[in-house]
């Protein structure tokens, strides 16, 4: 059964009404009790405000005109009760709406994270991760704001305004009509402002996302920034973005605050006119002032809800733009869904076969062109070739980070396009060229390979990866925090932790993308011994430029410009006349002998 978070509602999200319908459909049922309580509290706030204005007539007439002391006591007590009820009701609705709003933000954060995890690697290669993070952090509150603005404005502000208008009409119908006649031009002006604000708000959010994204990228790459003295160039780039964002924010401020002079001018004119009319009636017609004071009190109290209602569309436009950008992400369909007939992978020999595989990134030129080769089960197959030959692409196709345009990839005769991604990846262990560690301890990072692994299994994997000795030398051993992306460890140490993470997975297929590239010669030799042991009995596909890694392979697949040009083992390929592998091998011999 799907959770409420997974519900999708087909509505037009280009309009405020469409966004509101979708948000209510996704969240209303789960919070109906909380909203009912908040609405009840807001009704009490509205009615108590209207009562305060209505009773002013009795206060003036009974206390200052008729001078009835007994009525004054009752009136004052009722005013006290009204204000006390209003205070408790205001507290209740504020806490209830905050609790609901916080739950909605948390819910959408979970949905966004889960959805982002379902998107393909290709999406993250095309989109800047820093921009995605900034967009999510800025806009996720928009969903909450749309609902809260709707509830508070519809119930509290609109009901209060209507109640106070009712008091005004009861006290003086003619004055009330005069005030209401002036309102339509004001509403038209506010509608014009809100339309112009919508486009400016979206531009501002995009610019701020770029600013935060650029700052995050600079922080992540600070070593490169300083090594290449990029400070001034990046400073100019950031300043340009910040200046643009500042200008857009100033434009939004000008548009947003245009409501203030409009509403204040309207209120000032209305109150001045009412005072003049009431003074005339009191002076020349001897009309008691109670009704007038009640009318003015209602008019003054109506100003705040009227002002908030006037700004509602402006505020709603901003919240809706934020909410719409969140839905843009949530509505993005994963490119690599499991097919309806997808089955669980059943591994016997762990034999991998590429049949006529062609692949291109994002409608570019083909990176792989009809690639055919077999990685035999329980053996090591090395991919060799110059940079850009397509070796890393081959590795990335096996776990289905991408799907080929043509051809098939088979594991034990099963087409992986008809296999569930989860079961496929459960039988794979992967070590990338650039090791990545997550926030937490060394033990946590190794255990990500297999969450149910015991401490003993984690430590055994670390021993196999020749990581145990440097780990126990850390201040807190396996419980040492690694810092952001393992910043507290050296490159070689990070790589050995990532190899331990792959080993603890105990998968039948091991993918190594230049797994020893970050290691010095001594560490490489140690890890190579560990890998030799770990490779035993597994199907291993390894990308390697170094001769020491290649010579141990059972099969070598030589690639060039997205094609397989040679296959064999080191002995046969190294002596092939005019062969690409022989040339690469000859180029590496001096380097290998110098290391020796």
Instruction: Classify residue 527 as exposed, middle or buried by CB count within 10 Å of its CB (0-12, 13-18, 19+).
Output: buried
Q: For 406-421, what is each residue's pLDDT tens digit? A: 999 999 999 999 999 9
Would you state the pLDDT for residue 352? Answer: 95
Helix (H) or strand (E) run with residue 325 in it: helix 290-330
**Contact by Cβ (8 Å): 477, 471:** yes
Share of the chain above pLDDT 70, in %: 81
Would you state the pLDDT for residue 4? Answer: 40
More confident residue, 29 or 183: 29
**Contact by Cβ (8 Å): 23, 147:** yes
Q: Are strands 563-568 and 406-411 parallel, antiparallel or unpaired?
A: unpaired
More confident residue, 328 or 92: 92
Q: Decide: helix, strand or coil at residue 465.
A: coil
Residue 31 has pLDDT above 60, yes or no: yes
d(CA 163, CA 183): 17
Q: Which residues of 569-591 are buried (b: 16+ CB within 10 A; e: fewer)?
A: ebeebbeeeebbbbebbeeeeee
**Contact by Cβ (8 Å): 326, 110:** no
Across 52-66, 240-254, 493-507, which has the greatest mean pLDDT? 493-507
Q: For 372-409, what is each residue's pLDDT tens digit? A: 999 999 999 999 988 888 998 999 999 998 889 999 99
Residue 13 has pLDDT above 60, yes or no: no
Q: For 240-285, what is each residue's pLDDT tens digit? A: 888 887 887 787 777 666 666 766 676 677 667 777 777 777 677 7
Instruction: List every span in the chain annotated with CATH 1.20.1560.10.
Output: 14-330
Q: Are strands 555-560 and 380-384 parallel, antiparallel or unpaired?
A: parallel
Would you state the pLDDT for residue 595? Answer: 43
Query: What is the fold, at CATH topology level, of the domain defined by 348-427+508-596?
Result: Rossmann fold (3.40.50)
CATH superfamily of 14-330: ABC transporter type 1, transmembrane domain (1.20.1560.10)
Would you state the pLDDT for residue 527? Answer: 67
Q: Which of 246-255, 475-484, 506-515 has the lowest mean pLDDT?
A: 246-255
Q: For 142-195, what is each residue's pLDDT tens digit? A: 888 888 888 888 788 888 888 888 888 888 787 777 667 766 666 666 666 666
Helix ranges (H only) for 16-157 are 16-27, 32-54, 56-60, 69-118, 121-126, 129-139, 141-151
Mean pLDDT, residues 71-79? 82
Would you state the pLDDT for residue 298? Answer: 82
Mean pLDDT, residues 58-76? 75
Q: Decide: helix, strand or coil at residue 509.
A: strand
Report the candidate in 580, 157, 154 with the shortest Cα–Cα distance to residue 386.
580
Residue 593 has pLDDT above 50, yes or no: no
Q: Decide: helix, strand or coil at residue 169.
A: helix
DSSP assignment string, 424-463:
HHHTEEEE-SS----SSBHHHHHHTT-TT--HHHHHHHHH
d(CA 96, CA 80): 24
Mean pLDDT, residues 562-572? 90
Put simply, whether the predicted model's pTM sits higher than 0.75 gets the answer no
* Dihedral angle, C-alpha 122, 124, 128, 133, nearest 10 °: 160
Mean pLDDT, residues 104-122? 85
Q: How many CB atoms lie within 10 A of CB 537?
A: 11
The class (CATH top level) of 438-506 is alpha beta
Would you state the pLDDT for residue 327? Answer: 86
Would you state the pLDDT for residue 375? Answer: 94
d(CA 410, CA 427): 14
Q: For 203-227, what is each residue's pLDDT tens digit? A: 776 777 777 777 777 776 777 777 7
DSSP assignment string, 334-375:
PSSPPPTT-B----SS--EEEEEEEEESTT-SEEEEEEEEEE
More confident residue, 414 or 496: 414
C-alpha separations of 323 from 105, 205, 253, 490 in Å? 11, 11, 20, 42
Q: For 331-365, what is each residue's pLDDT tens digit? A: 888 777 788 889 999 999 999 999 999 999 877 78
Helix (H) or strand (E) run with residue 407 in it: strand 406-411
Instruction: List every span in the chain annotated with CATH 3.40.50.300.
Output: 348-427+508-596, 438-506
Helix (H) or strand (E) run with residue 540 in it: strand 539-543
R_g of the chain, CA atoms, integer Å: 35
Report the candidate in 508, 528, 507 with the shortest Cα–Cα distance to residue 517.
528
Mean pLDDT, residues 466-478? 90
End-to-end Cα distance, the chain: 62
d(CA 592, CA 544): 14
Mean pLDDT, residues 553-560? 91
Helix (H) or strand (E) run with residue 242 in it: helix 231-257
The residue assigned the tokens 């806009």 is: 139
Would you state the pLDDT for residue 279? Answer: 73
Report the candidate in 538, 530, 541, 532 with the shortest Cα–Cα distance to residue 507.
538
Q: Decide: helix, strand or coil at residue 532.
A: helix
Would you state the pLDDT for residue 355? Answer: 95
d(CA 566, CA 547): 17
Would you state the pLDDT for residue 427? Answer: 93
d(CA 363, CA 345): 30
Q: Are strands 406-411 and 414-415 parallel, antiparallel or unpaired?
A: antiparallel
Report the candidate in 256, 251, 5, 276 with the shortest Cα–Cα distance to residue 114.
5
Instruction: Classify residue 522 as exposed, middle or buried by CB count within 10 Å of its CB (0-12, 13-18, 19+).
Output: exposed
Distinct helix (H) and strand (E) counts, the chain: 24, 10
Give 324's Cβ-side CA count (13 Å radius).
Answer: 21
C-alpha separations of 470 from 126, 473, 490, 522 in Å? 37, 5, 11, 14
Would you state the pLDDT for residue 51? Answer: 87
More confident residue, 563 or 254: 563
Q: What is the mean pLDDT of the chain?
A: 80
Residue 7 has pLDDT above 50, yes or no: no
């Amino acid at each position: 059964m799907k959770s409420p978070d997974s519900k999708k509602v087909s509505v037009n999200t280009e309009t405020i009404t469409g966004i509101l319908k979708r948000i209510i459909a996704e969240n209303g049922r789960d919070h109906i009790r909380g909203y009912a309580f908040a609405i009840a509290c807001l009704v009490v706030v509205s009615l108590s405000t209207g009562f305060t204005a209505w009773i002013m007539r009795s206060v003036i007439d009974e206390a200052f005109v008729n001078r009835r002391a007994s009525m004054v006591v009752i009136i004052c007590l009722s005013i006290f009760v009204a204000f006390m009820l209003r205070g408790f009701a205001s507290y209740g609705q504020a806490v209830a709406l905050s609790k609901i709003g916080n739950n909605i933000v948390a819910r959408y954060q979970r949905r966004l994270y889960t959805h982002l995890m379902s998107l393909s690697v290709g999406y993250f290669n095309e989109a800047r991760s820093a921009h995605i993070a900034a967009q999510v952090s800025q806009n996720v509150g928009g969903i909450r704001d749309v609902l809260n603005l709707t509830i508070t404005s519809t119930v509290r502000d609109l009901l209060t305004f209507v109640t106070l208008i009712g008091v005004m009409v009861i006290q003086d119908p003619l004055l009330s009509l005069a005030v209401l006649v002036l309102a339509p031009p004001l509403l038209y002006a506010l509608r014009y402002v809100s339309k112009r604000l919508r486009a400016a708000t979206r531009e501002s959010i995009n610019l701020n996302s770029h600013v935060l994204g650029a700052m995050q990228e600079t922080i992540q790459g600070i070593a490169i920034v300083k090594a290449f003295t990029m400070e001034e160039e990046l400073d100019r780039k950031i300043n340009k973005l910040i200046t643009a964002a500042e200008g857009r924010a100033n434009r939004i401020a000008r548009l947003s605050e245009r409501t203030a002079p409009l509403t204040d001018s309207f209120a000032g004119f209305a109150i001045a006119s009412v005072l003049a009319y009431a003074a005339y009636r009191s002076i020349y017609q001897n009309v008691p002032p109670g009704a007038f004071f009640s009318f003015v009190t209602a008019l003054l109290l109506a100003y705040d809800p009227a002002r908030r209602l006037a700004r509602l569309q402006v505020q709603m436009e901003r919240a809706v733009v934020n909410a719409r950008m969140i839905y843009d992400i949530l509505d993005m369909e994963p490119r690599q869904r499991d097919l309806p007939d997808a089955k669980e992978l059943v591994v016997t020999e762990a034999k991998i076969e590429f049949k006529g595989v062609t692949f291109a990134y994002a409608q570019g030129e083909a990176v792989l062109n009809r690639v055919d080769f077999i990685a035999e089960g329980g053996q090591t197959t090395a991919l060799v070739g110059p940079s850009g030959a397509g070796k890393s692409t081959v590795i990335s196709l096996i776990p289905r980070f991408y799907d080929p345009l043509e051809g098939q990839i088979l594991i034990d005769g099963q087409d992986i396009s008809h296999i569930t991604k989860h079961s496929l990846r459960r039988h794979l262990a992967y070590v990338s060229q650039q090791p990545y560690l997550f926030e937490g301890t060394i033990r946590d990072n190794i255990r990500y390979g297999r969450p149910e692994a015991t401490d003993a299994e984690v430590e055994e994997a670390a021993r196999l990866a020749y990581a145990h000795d440097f780990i126990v030398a850390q201040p807190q051993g396996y419980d040492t925090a690694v810092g952001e992306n393992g910043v507290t460890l050296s490159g070689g140490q990070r790589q050995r932790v990532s190899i331990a993470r792959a080993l603890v997975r105990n998968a039948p297929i091991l993918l190594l993308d230049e797994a020893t590239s970050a290691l010095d010669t001594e560490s490489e030799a140690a890890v190579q011994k560990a890998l030799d042991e770990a490779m035993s009995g597994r199907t291993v596909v390894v990308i390697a430029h170094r001769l020491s890694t290649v010579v141990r392979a059972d099969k070598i697949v030589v690639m060039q410009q997205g094609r397989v040009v040679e296959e064999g083992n080191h002995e046969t390929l190294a002596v092939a006349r005019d062969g690409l592998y022989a040339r690469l091998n000859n180029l590496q011999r001096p380097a290998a002998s110098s290391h020796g």
